[in-house]
Amino acid sequence: MKSKKRKRYVVVFVVASIVVITLIPVIIYLRNKIIEKNMPLMEDFYFLVYEGMEEPQCTIIYKYDVQRDETYEVGRVPGYFHNGEIDSKKEYIMGLRGSLMNEENPGAEFGVVRFSLKDGTSEILLTDEEMHTFEEGEIHWLTTYIQDNGKKVFIHYYKSGAAFSRRLLYNLKSGERTEITMPEKRIGGVIDIREDMIWYVNTSGTLIQYNNRTGEKREIIEDIGNAYISDDGTKMVFSRNFDYKHMYLYDVENKEEKCIWKAGWNTVFLEYYQYSSGWDRSGEYFFYVEIFPRIMGNDTRVKIYNLRTGKSRCVYRESKSQGGFEFVRNADV
Residue 141 clears pLDDT 90, i.e. is over it: no
Q: What is the pLDDT of residue 35?
A: 44
Contact between 271 and 239 (Cβ < 8 Å) = yes
Residue 20 clears pLDDT 80, i.e. is over it: no
Q: What is the homologous superfamily of the domain 223-322 according to CATH?
A: TolB, C-terminal domain (2.120.10.30)
Contact between 160 and 147 (Cβ < 8 Å) = no
Contact between 270 and 263 (Cβ < 8 Å) = no
Q: Which residue type is seen at 185?
A: K
The stretch 127-142 carries a mean pLDDT of: 70
Q: CB neighbours (10 Å) of residue 47?
A: 23
Instruction: For residues 259 and 209, give the distance between their C-alpha atoms in angstroms, rounded to a whole number.
Output: 22
Q: Diameter of the chain by CA atoms? A: 101
> In residues, how long is the chain?
333
Residue 10 clears pLDDT 90, i.e. is over it: no
Q: What is the pLDDT of residue 103?
A: 54
pLDDT (tens digit per residue) in 70-113: 999 999 998 889 999 999 999 999 998 866 555 555 556 788 99
Q: CB neighbours (10 Å) of residue 275?
A: 22
Q: What is the pLDDT of residue 34?
A: 46
What is the domain partition of the chain in residue ranges?
A: 1-35, 223-322
pLDDT (tens digit per residue) in 288-313: 998 888 877 788 999 999 998 999 99
Q: What is the pLDDT of residue 86?
A: 94
Q: What is the pLDDT of residue 268?
A: 83
Residue 163 clears pLDDT 90, i.e. is over it: no
